[in-house]
Structures are given as C-alpha cells and as structure tokens.
Amino acid sequence: MCPNAQYKEGVVRQTIVKAAIIQLDIHKGKPEWNLAIVKRRIASLARRGAQLILLPEMWSTGFAMDSVYRLSETTPRVLEEMGRMSKKLNLVIIGSLPEKAEKRVWNTAYVVDNDGSIAGAYRKVHLFTPSGEDRYFLPGDRAVVCKTSVGPVGLMICYDLRFPELCRSLAMQGAQIVAVLAQWPDERALHWKVLLRARAIENQLFILGANRCGADNDVVYAGRSSIISPWGEIQARAGRKPALLSASIDLSLVKEARERIPCLAERVPEAYG
C-alpha cells in the first residue's frame, strides 16, 4: 500500500501524458481468459505510445461473488504479469482486483509503475449495498493518492464516484489525475457521464473513467469510458462495445484552471458545517 501521498512540486516529470483506457467485456470467473485479452490490448496501446493505461473494476475475475474469495488467490500472479509488462513497455497500469483478506476480500485498485513495482493500492471505501457487495467485500478506510512516473494519481472505484467528498480529498492531497475504475450499468449511464464531468470540473483535474461493457446475466454495462479535462471537456469517449481509447493530456491545464478560477484556494471549510 502506498501512503496518502502529499503531492510536492517537482514530482511531475512531464507535462504531456499519453493516457489510455481498455474497455472490455469481462468474462466472469475466468482470470486467465481476461488476463490474456488484457495483455494483448496493453501491447497494442504501448505500440501507440501509451504511458498510462487504465483497466475496469475487478477486471480479472468480474463479480463472481460465490467464488470471489477463491479467485482472489490469482491476484498475486496477475500483478506479477502486470509488473513484467509495465517494466518491459515502460507503462503505468492501473486496475482493480480482488485482494484476499480473512474470509472476505477487498476490491483493490493497484497502481503498477513503469519500473514494474507496485506504486500503491486503494481499497474501495464505498461498497454498493444494493447489489450485496457488503456481504462479500470489506470496505477500505482511506483516500489514496499515489506518486507515479507520470505524476500524482488519485484512485476511486465505481460507487465512489457518487461521493464528492472523496474526490475532493484526492484533489486536496495533490492529485492531478483521478482514475475511476468501474462496472457501471447501462441503466444509469446518464449518471456515469454527468458525475465524471462534475468531478473533473469541481476539482479542476483530469478524470479518467474506465468502465466495462457487455453483459453479466441480466445486467448490461454502460461502457462509455471517458477521458475528461479539468475544464470538463471530453477528450476521448468509447461507446458501448469493447474499445481502446487514448488521449494526450496536458497536466499544465490543472494549474491553468485553478489559477483562472481559484475554487480550491477560495474554499471556506468552516462555513460548511
């Protein structure tokens, strides 16, 4: 786990980052199948110059609830594979996987830096109780910003998107990019699109939303993975099918937005109760 990294001036080594998202239809309970697909798509994006790649929530196993504890035993090997690819291809890779605990698991977003090391991890704080996540998963208890070779990255997972306090915490800790990893259903696709843009605009940072597509039993997933600027501009968006999307994001826009409209500097916390 990485600490709640406070961003310091000079950490960002570059201004332009080629960010990418892999939107895929996850095969539930089949980590080897999903891993094979993801490895091919990572290699494809690397050939296009990607430096930062996001994967959806629980991308290796899906929400195979009845077997998620057993499937969590595959996560160390999946992380080893991600580490090898990151180092070989000079990539930062971020995705959510089941992390084994006692009797239950955490839904954990891992950040693998371009040297193959795990730069940090975030355990999903807000479990989606309407689908019974709280019966199978343990909640995390803190916001996490990780220092990476492309700059400070904050982490959120799916339902977390509905809690603006969490994203604001990431912004105040110095995140310039927030990665949102999700399995967001199509019936609430409007919420996904609106909330991604809202979190980007109100915190004046880049939001990268990696969602799954396809269907799992009677649930159809929204896809529509997106890369959104601090001004709320959509720099790339997928449809509802498997897709690779990318955009060159200019991190200097974070400073520009915050100087032109100093929302964060002009907060009045004591007035908010």
Just list the catalytic residues.
57, 124, 158
Separation of CA 34 from chain center: 17
What are the tokens at 188? 């609430």
Distance CA(136)–CA(129), nearest Å, equals: 10
Q: Counting Cβ atoms within 10 Å, is residue 11 exposed (0-12), middle (13-18) or buried (19+)?
A: middle
Decide if 199 contacts 191 (C-beta within 8 A): no
26: closest CA among 104, 97, 115? 97
Single-letter amino acid, residue 209: G
Distance CA(141)–CA(127), nearest Å, equals: 11
CA distances from 59 to 31, 56, 147, 171 (A): 8, 5, 23, 26
Single-letter amino acid, residue 199: R
H/E segment holding residue 85? helix 75-89
Whole-number CA gyration radius for the chain? 17
